[in-house]
C-alpha cells in the first residue's frame, strides 16, 4: 500500500481468517431458507438493472436479457448494455476516483470488504437463488460459490492490512529505508459466468482494497448477480467511481477498455482464446500510454486425474465423477480426462459408470436432490454436442451423449467416452461441459507423460496408495494445483491458492498470499540520517 497507508492495523484488527462453511442442505431450516429465497427471486424476475458510472445509474436504451438456462423463457433480469461512450465515461470516473481512493487509509478500505462480507452473509440465500436461476447451479454448488465470495472478501481485507505493515529490510547504516506497496491505477475486471459471484467479487475487491479503481465488465450470461453485488458494495460504503458497472459486448467495449491508454491492468478469467486476445491487445502501446499494462489471466484447462494400479478404485471413481460432472463440468478445474493404468482400467470403468448412473439431472430450482443442472446457454450446448459427435468417432460412447429428454432448458446428459487416444480431439481441446474422456495408460510412467501432454496446466489429481508415486507426481505433474487422493475441484481460499501454468494463465494464485501483489507495485524510499537521527547530513 502507499507510503501514507502504511500505519499498522488498529487494535480492532479482525480475527484470523477461516473459511465459510458450505451447507449440504440436509438441515430442513436450510432448505426452507433457500426455497423462500427462490420465491423472492422469481417474484423479481424481469427487473431492469442500469449501468452504474461514478455512482450514477445510467440507461442506454440497449438491454441484455439474462435467461435461466434451465427455463430459457424465464428472464432473470434485464441489464443495460454499455457502448463506447459509457465505457469511456466509466474510465473517466475511475480515473477521478483513483486520485482520492488511493489515499484512503487501508483500514477503511478493508472495512468496506468486511462490511460487504457481513451483508452477503445476511443475504446468503438470495445470492444462492440468483446463482441457481441465472447460471443453473445446484443448491450445494450455489452455496459454495457464495461462501467463496465471502471468503474472498474476508481474506483480501486481511491481506490488505498485512501488506500495509512494511516488510523488514536488511539495515543499511546511516539510512532509514522503507518498502511499501502502492496501487497501480485503473483496472478492467472481466470475470466469467461460471463462478458468477465468487470470481467476480474476488477480482473486483482485490483490486479495490489495494487502492485501485475498477471498471467491471461482467459476463453477459451473469450480469444480474454482478449488478446486485455492486449495489451491495455501495451499501457497504464503497465511494462512487471506485467500482463502475458496465456490462456490454466484449468485442466492442471490452476491447476498447483493454486498449485504453489509461488502463493500468486487466484482471480476466475466461477462455484461452479471449485471454490470449486480451494479452495481445494489452501489449500494444497506445498513444499517451506511459506504462506496460499488467495482465492477470486465468484461462481454463484440460484437467486430468491419474488412477494408478494401486489406487482405491472406489474413491477414485467417486472423485472422477464429482470432478467431471459437478456444475455440469463447467469449471476450469473440472476433470475432463481420466488416465487409468491398463491393469485396472476395466474395473475402474465399471465403478465409474455406476457412480455416474446415480447422478440426478434436472432443474436445480426443484431442490437439493438435483445434482447437475443445465449448461449455461444454447451455444455452449451445441458446441458440446459437436464434441460428442467427434468423440463417437474417436472412441466408445459409454454413457450419455444426448440432450436430456423432457426438459426445456439446455441440458446435456453426463457423458463418458472410453478408449480415447491421448492425442484425440476430445482429449486435447477444452469442452467445458459434462463430457469425460477415459484414456488407458500401459503403466504409471506413461500415465504421467499423458497427464502433461496438453497445452494447459491448471489442476490435476493422482489416486495412489504408493507414496513414491505421489512424490514423483509432485515433481513431474506440471499443473498449478495438484491434488492427491481427492477430486480436482473445490479449491478453498487461503488453503489452495488457485492458478495454473502454460495456457491456463499467469498462475495468479487467487485466494493466496501473493495475490494482492498483482494489484500493487513496490516503491522503495531511502532517507539518509545522521547518527543522532535528526536527518541532517552536514552543517546548515
pLDDT digits (tens, 9 = 90+) for 484-513: 999 999 999 999 999 999 999 999 999 999
Rounded to 5°, the CA angle 203-204-206 comes to 65
Domains along the sequence of the chain with CATH: 40-299+505-525 (3.40.605.10), 303-484 (3.40.309.10)
Catalytic residue positions? Answer: 298, 332
Instruction: List, for the chain, all residue ranges whose pLDDT scores fall below the cut of 50.
Output: 2-11, 533, 535-540
Chain-centroid distance, C-alpha 401: 28
Dist CA 81 CA 253 (whole Å): 10
CB 259 within 8 A of CB 284: yes
User: How many angstroms separate the Cα of 285 from the Cα of each of 11, 274, 497?
Assistant: 45, 19, 32
| Cα 527 to Cα 341: distance, rounded to the nearest angstrom | 63
So what's the pLDDT on residue 12? 65
The pLDDT value given to residue 166: 80
pLDDT attached to residue 540: 40
SS3 content of the chain, % helix, strand, coil (to 5): 40, 20, 40
Helices (H), 102-174: 106-122, 124-135, 139-164
Dihedrals phi, psi of 255, to nearest 5 degrees: -60, -40
**R_g (Cα) of the chain, nearest Å:** 24
Give the pLDDT of residue 417. 99
Sheet containing strand 63-68, edge to edge, reads 47-49, 71-80, 63-68
Work out the number of other CB atoms within 10 angstroms of the CB of residue 452: 15
CB distance 489 to 334 below 8 Å = yes
DSSP type of residue 264: E
Distance CA(427)–CA(425), nearest Å, equals: 5
pLDDT at 3: 31
Amino acid at each position: 500500500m502507499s507510503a501514507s497507508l502504511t500505519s499498522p492495523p488498529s487494535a480492532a484488527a479482525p480475527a484470523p481468517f477461516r473459511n465459510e462453511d458450505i451447507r449440504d442442505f440436509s438441515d430442513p431450516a436450510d432448505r426452507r431458507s433457500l426455497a423462500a429465497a427462490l420465491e423472492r427471486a422469481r417474484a423479481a424476475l424481469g427487473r431492469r438493472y442500469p449501468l452504474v458510472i461514478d455512482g450514477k445509474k445510467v440507461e442506454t436504451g440497449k438491454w441484455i436479457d439474462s435467461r435461466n438456462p434451465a427455463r430459457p423463457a424465464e428472464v432473470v433480469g434485464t441489464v443495460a448494455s454499455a457502448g463506447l461512450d459509457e465505457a469511456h465515461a466509466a474510465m473517466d470516473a475511475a480515473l477521478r476516483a483513483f486520485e482520492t481512493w488511493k489515499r484512503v487509509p487501508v483500514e477503511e478500505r478493508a472495512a468496506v470488504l468486511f462490511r460487504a462480507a457481513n451483508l452477503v452473509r445476511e443475504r446468503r440465500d438470495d445470492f444462492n437463488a440468483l446463482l441457481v436461476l441465472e447460471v443453473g447451479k445446484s443448491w450445494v454448488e450455489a452455496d459454495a460459490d457464495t461462501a467463496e465470495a465471502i471468503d474472498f472478501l474476508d481474506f483480501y481485507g486481511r491481506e490488505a492490512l498485512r501488506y500495509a505493515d512494511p516488510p523488514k529490510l536488511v539495515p543499511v547504516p546511516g539510512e532509514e529505508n522503507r518498502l511499501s506497496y502502492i496501487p497501480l491505477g485503473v483496472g478492467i475486471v472481466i470475470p466469467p459466468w461460471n463462478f458468477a459471484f465468487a470470481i467476480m467479487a474476488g477480482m473486483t475487491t482485490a483490486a479495490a482494497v489495494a487502492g485501485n479503481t475498477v471498471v467491471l465488465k461482467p459476463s453477459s450470461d451473469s450480469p444480474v448477480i454482478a449488478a446486485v453485488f455492486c449495489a451491495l458494495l455501495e451499501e457497504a460504503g464503497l465511494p462512487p467511481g471506485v467500482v463502475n458497472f458496465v456490462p456490454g459486448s466484449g468485442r466492442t467495449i471490452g476491447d476498447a477498455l483493454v486498449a485504453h491508454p489509461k488502463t493500468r491492468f486487466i484482471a480476466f478469467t475466461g477462455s484461452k482464446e479471449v485471454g490470449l486476445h486480451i494479452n495481445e491487445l494489452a501489449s500494444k502501446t497506445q498513444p499517451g500510454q506511459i506504462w506496460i499494462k499488467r495482465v492477470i489471466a486465468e484461462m481454463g484447462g484440460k484437467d486430468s486425474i491419474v488412477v494408478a494400479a494401486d489406487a482405491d478404485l472406489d474413491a477414485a471413481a467417486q472423485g472422477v465423477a464429482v470432478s467431471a460432472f459437478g456444475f455440469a463440468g463447467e469449471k476450469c478445474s473440472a476433470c475432463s480426462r481420466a488416465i487409468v493404468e491398463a491393469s485396472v482400467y476395466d474395473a475402474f470403468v465399471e465403478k465409474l459408470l455406476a457412480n455416474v448412473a446415480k447422478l440426478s439431472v434436472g432443474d436445480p430450482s426443484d431442490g437439493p436432490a438435483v445434482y447437475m443442472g443445465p449448461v449455461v446457454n444454447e451455444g455452449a450446448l451445441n458446441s458440446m454436442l459437436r464434441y460428442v459427435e467427434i468423440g463417437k468417432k474417436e472412441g466408445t460412447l459409454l454413457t450419455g451423449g444426448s440432450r436430456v429428454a423432457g426438459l426445456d432448458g439446455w441440458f446435456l446428459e453426463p457423458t463418458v467416452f472410453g478408449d480415447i487416444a491421448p492425442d484425440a480431439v476430445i482429449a486435447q481441446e477444452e469442452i467445458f461441459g459434462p463430457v469425460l474422456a477415459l484414456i488407458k495408460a500401459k503403466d504409471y510412467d506413461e500415465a504421467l507423460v499423458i497427464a502433461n501432454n496438453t497445452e494447459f496446466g491448471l489442476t490435476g489429481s493422482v489416486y495412489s496408495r504408493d507414496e513414491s508415486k505421489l512424490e514423483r507426481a509432485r515433481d513431474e505433474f506440471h499443473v498449478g494445483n495438484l491434488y492427491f487422493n481427492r477430486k480436482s475441484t473445490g479449491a478453498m481460499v487461503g488453503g489452495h491458492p488457485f492458478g495454473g501454468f502454460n495456457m491456463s494463465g499467469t498462475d495468479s494464485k487467487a485466494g493466496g498470499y501473493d495475490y494482492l501483489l498483482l494489484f500493487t507495485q513496490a516503491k522503495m524510499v531511502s532517507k539518509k540520517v545522521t547518527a543522532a537521527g535528526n536527518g541532517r547530513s552536514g552543517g546548515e
